[in-house]
Amino acid sequence: MTGASTRVVVVGAGLAGLIAARDVAASGAEVTVLEARDRVGGRMRGVPMSSGVVADGGAAYLGRQHTELLQLVDDHRLDLVSTGMSGESTFLIDDQRTTTASRVPPLDAVALGDLFDRLEDLVETVRPNAPWLTPDADRLDRLSAQRWLVDGIARPDAHTFFPLFLGEMMAADPAAISVLHMAFYLRSGGGLRYLNAFEGGAQQWRIDGGAHLLAEELAEQLGDRVHVNQPVAAIDQDHHGVVVRCVTDTAHRQSEFRADRVIVAVPPLLAQRIDFRPGLSTPRATTATGRGCAIKVHLGYRSPIWREGGLSGWSVSTSGPLLSTVDDSPSDESAGVLTGFVTGAAASAFSALSPAGQRDAALAHVARLFPQLPPPDTCSITDWITEKYSRGCYAALFGPGDWLRLGPTLTEPHGRIHWAGTETSLEYFGLMEGAIRSGRRAAAEVIDAADATTDSSKVLVR
């Protein structure tokens, strides 16, 4: 036990930061959580759809391999909702609409099989505990995923499907990420088939009422240790301790928090903007590091009326904005919630539209996908690309050169400063499970460091 004399500041009240704060507080330390937003949850966000119905504006899905997340759900007595689908899928391929019982787009099966075989062979070569030590890592980290496709696979339908697949799995434009990052992400998440699956896969369940409930439960446990509207601008440290400085309003008034240790649990692009004194020896992000390109569109109906026509609500389109849709309606069918995903290059183009333009484009696309449906009662758009305190979702995208530059020091403390966040997890990188594991690791580092200091003091006293 660290004892109450140890003071720890956690920067960021997303899932990783809240878990780290919970574990450190349980050790007896004095904990303060600083969150830039006016809410907790980070990239977990609830979107009200109708009375008592909330959709997941951010992170949403989980599967059996996500053991830490499942334990957390159980600890807080939350319920899971199956994402199992019945009914036909809808496909809009080159503006041709078809429906079929299969979830696989009506593209050349040989081309898709060859693509998946090549991806699986590549994924198997990655060292998940140290991707920068993967055989041929230097070449794989310099090569973009798009160039890998162009150089190695000729079939046109594989080229059509590849950006849709990476958009769904990683919210990535293939041109913006390295092959090493793509292969590591898929390996870290349990393999591409597990990540891509609903039944028995990483998308088997969602949390009833929304994943944001986990963050709210954790924050309630922490009570007045959590401070919102506290964007961190600078962190100074010396051999006496750490001072965390926040800019609290437009008048640039500052507040200060003193600590013995700090856990920074924000995405790399945000961590890179903090003024560290002394400065970081290795950056948290580079000019190649990108924002996860994800925008979620939630369409609300009186009930899941597409089911009446034998449709599952699942769709895939080869052109935007909604590259896929899924039925996220509550289990009691008290409302219909159709979630659309705008990812990759399509997300960047969609994000540049005005709010009215985004809504019009989304509704026009849904009308092409499901012409039998009436206009939705509500339309909510969560644009993570422009979100000031996220800078993308699902996770940061490691571009060419990033893993060799950033990977070896990803979790290495900077003096009294420790790192958390799903991008610092070599297990389930980019997922809620990864965020939890990173928070627990960072908390253990802080507790161990405090215990070592205490033991050293006892020796000196003797």
DSSP 375: P
Q: Report the 10 Å Cβ neighbour count for 103.
A: 15
Q: 445's torsion region: left (phi>0), alpha (psi -120 to 50) or beta? A: alpha
Binding site for FAD, residues?
A: 35-36, 232, 423
DSSP 409: G
Q: Where are the beta strands (DSSP E) in 328-416?
A: 336-343, 378-383
Sheet architecture: strand order including 336-343: 96-100, 88-93, 311-317, 324-327, 336-343, 294-301, 378-383
User: What is the torsional sign of CA 29, 216, 57, 183?
Assistant: positive
Q: Which residues contact 278 (CB under 8 A, 6 or more apart)?
A: 237, 415
Binding site, residues?
A: 35-36, 232, 341, 423
Q: At what angle do helices 344-351 and 156-170 cross, to 10 degrees?
A: 70
CB burial class (10 A; 0-12, 13-18, 19+) of residue 286? middle
Q: How far is CA 105 from CA 159, 264, 429, 442, in A?
A: 13, 41, 27, 42
Query: Among candidates 71, 75, 163, which has minimal Cα distance to 349?
Result: 163
DSSP output for 312-346: EEEEEESSSS-SEEEE---TT-SSEEEEEEEEHHH
Binding site for substrate, residues?
A: 341
Residue holding tokens 């893993």?
A: 403
Q: How far apart are CA 190 and CA 437, in angstroms?
A: 15
